[in-house]
Amino acid sequence: DGGITQSPKYLFRKEGQNVTLSCEQNLNHDAMYWYRQDPGQGLRLIYYSQIVNDFQKGDIAEGYSVSREKKESFPLTVTSAQKNPTAFYLCASSIRTGLPPYEQYFGPGTRLTVT
């Protein structure tokens, strides 16, 4: 089945530690996205990548880093510089060619808790 995999579903870390969230897709999509979701805040864009080896900052990139070495994978690292990292993180992907609109397909999410 085609889809987006995010692992793990729940992640716990101590303050001051970096942590990497996994996102893998087998939809053959060029574009991938990372969002952060907090209660009552909707989804806020952290980083996005339209092609391999290229990515752009979203609206709340500070304290996060990404890489895009393979089309299928777009890992997100939450660094110790992120002041409030506890949140629900969602990965998404979409096509980026042909006629719009380009709907995004979402993974099941990773809930990160930092204490």
Partner 1 sequence: AQSVTQPDIHITVSEGASLELRCNYSYGATPYLFWYVQSPGQGLQLLLKYFSGDTLVQGIKGFEAEFKRSQSSFNLRKPSVHWSDAAEYFCAVGARSGGSNYKLTFGKGTLLTVNP
Shortest Å distance, C-beta 52 to partner 1: 14
Amino acid identity of residue 76, one-letter, is L
Shortest Å distance, C-beta 53 to partner 1: 15
Q: State which residue, 63 or 106, has the beta carbon closest to partner 1.
A: 106
Q: State which residue, 18 or 26, has the beta carbon closest to partner 1.
A: 26
Q: Which two tokens stand for residue 14?
A: 């101590």
Of 29, 34, 21, residue with least CA distance to 3: 29
Instruction: Point out which residues bind partner 1 (CB under 8 A).
Output: 4, 31, 33, 35, 40-45, 48, 50, 56, 58, 88, 90, 92, 94, 96, 100-109, 111
Of 75, 93, 97, residue with least CA distance to 11: 75
HSE-up of 18 (CA within 13 Å, CB side)? Answer: 10
